[in-house]
Amino acid sequence: MTKALEIFEILTGIFQFLGKRRNYYNLDPSCHLTRCALVNKVWLSAARQELYSYVYLNTYDGLEDCLMRFWETISKSPHLALRVRTLNFGLEYVYHGVTADLAKVIASCPNLTSIRIYGLDNNALEDLVGALKSRSRLESLEISPYTFGSLECNGLCDMGTFLGILQCWPNMRSVLVHENGLFEEPGKGEIEVTRNACPYLRRFDFRSEPMPAERHFVTLSQIAPSLSELRLRGPLVGRKELQHALRTWATTITELRLDFSGPTFSGTARGIQSNMDCHLDDIITLMPALRYLTISTHYLRPSTLTHDSFKNLETLIYDMMEEELREFVGILRQPGLLPALQQLAVSARMFQYEFEINMVEEMKAECRRRGVAVHGRFFEEKRDNENFDPLED
């Protein structure tokens, strides 16, 4: 009996190790574990624990009915549904009824802690919202309504409704919303707030449009006052919308990405030359724990980087105008400034401009002297794709 238990524990460790080696964006079912499960009863038990704890479903190989097959399996064997902790679902082509099928699966797995969804249709969105809301143990949620060849989908729900649902997940740690994952709310009704409803929420990553309004950021800061990582990617957002929330998070923020460079998802310009008041210098200098910063001079002037609050900054991705590069290089040359800087990416704030080559070379030379690695503007995307873990501290 002891020997069988030891074998089971060894196999479990091996299978868990194989699962951790998976690329984050690989949603293929674990075929090697399926084959392992056929060896004998001990291997079956160990492999099944891993297979049903971390479920990967997609339709890339023509398995349009994979959701229904999985739902039928756990409906006939409820003990398997109790094992499911993580559900990763992606579609190559969205089909009518996928949202309803997904809602059934989620509602059948009471112990879910992590859900990733790539692909929805507009039918049964309320059922899906209800199923998600009922999973009170959720720690991580990532949602994108679109895949290749997707049917029209307006998004999961409006931002106000989502913030209401968020308060049903007291253990939530990471939220990632992709393009059009949420839609603009039709009215401006009050959002009921339970303060500190999500005390463990550390990462809020919103890569969509429209951007949350001021009241949404205020509500989020009340729900999750200890947020440490904020990423916004989409249309330009002004100081008015962000200032209250950023002040709330000032002492806890370690990673701030205000990534508004480039065209919006709809293909229109982001108005970087807008007259909108965007500068956040006085607020960002209140963030002593800041280690990762993506920003433009529209929000943070180069001169502000001389402030002592940036002594822990390790990664800086900085969009600026051509004439601001010289000032920034001067800051890099000053002893004692940005002492922890390890990685730097600098790009022109306006796409029609390029930096003067001699000034770029001066910047690179100064970075070499300091031991700072210089990257292309979007090096962070590769890093995220390879290493992203929504529950990593």
Q: What is the pLDDT of residues 34-61, one digit of tens each?
A: 666 555 565 666 666 767 788 888 766 5
Q: Which residue type sits at 392?
A: E
At 263 the pLDDT is 43
Residues 36 and 55 in one domain: no
Which tokens belong to 210? 């429209």
The larger pLDDT score, comparing residue 147 to residue 182, is at 182
Q: In this structure, are 29 and 71 located in the same domain?
A: no
Instruction: Name the domain count of the chain.
Output: 2
Q: Is 41 exposed, middle or buried (0-12, 13-18, 19+ CB in 10 A)?
A: exposed
Pairing between β-strand 54-58 and β-strand 140-144 as defined by DSSP bridges: unpaired
Digit-coded pLDDT (tens) for 187-237: 667 789 999 999 999 999 999 888 999 999 999 999 999 999 999 998 889
Q: Are residues 37 and 106 in the same domain?
A: no
CB-facing half-sphere around the CA of 178: CA atoms within 13 A: 13
Asked, for residue 230, whether it belongs to a domain, the answer is: yes
Q: Are residues 15 and 83 in the same domain?
A: no
Q: Is residue 392 part of a domain?
A: no
Question: Does residue 315 fall inside a structural domain?
Answer: yes
Three-state secondary structure call for residue 116 = strand
Same domain, 103 and 146: yes
**Whether pLDDT at 76 is above 80:** yes
Domain stops at, among 45, 60, 79: 45
Q: Which domain holds residue 225?
A: 46-265+276-387
| Per-residue pLDDT at 265 exceeds 50 | no
Task: Enumerate residues 6+ apart whose C-beta is below 8 A from 8.
Answer: 42, 45, 46
SS3 of residue 137 by DSSP: coil
CB-CB contact of 89 with 116 (8 Å): yes
In a domain, 34, yes or no: yes
Question: Scanning the structure block, which residue is given the tokens 């308060």?
Answer: 167
Q: pLDDT-based confidence at 309, cuts 50/70/90? A: very high
- Sort residue 255 into left (φ over 0), alpha (ψ -120 to 50) or beta: beta
Q: The domain that contains 373 carries what CATH number?
A: 3.80.10
What residues form DSSP beta bridges with 256? 230, 293
Identify the band that residue 270 occupies on the pLDDT scale cut at 50, 70 and 90.
very low
- At 261 the pLDDT is 62
Q: Which of 24-28, 114-118, 182-186 has the highest average model confidence (pLDDT)?
A: 114-118
Same domain, 232 and 305: yes
Q: How large a percentage of the chain has pLDDT more than 70?
A: 74
Same structural domain for residues 18 and 163? no
Nearest partner of 302 among 244, 238, 349, judged by Cα: 349
- Phi/psi-derived region of residue 97, left when phi > 0, alpha when psi is between -120 and 50, beta in every other case: left
In what order do the strands lie in the sheet containing 343-348?
54-58, 86-90, 114-118, 140-144, 174-177, 203-206, 229-233, 255-259, 292-296, 315-320, 343-348, 373-374
Lookup: tokens for 351: 């796409």
pLDDT over 90 (residue 30) = no
Residue 13 pLDDT > 70: no
Given a contact cutoff of 8 angstroms between Cβ atoms, the answer to whether 139 and 165 are in contact is no
SS3 118: strand
Position 271 in a domain: no
Q: What's the mean pLDDT when you consider all of the chain? A: 84
Is residue 393 one of the residues assigned to a domain?
no
pTM across the whole model: 0.86
Here the tokens at position 335 are 């002893």
174 & 316 share domain: yes
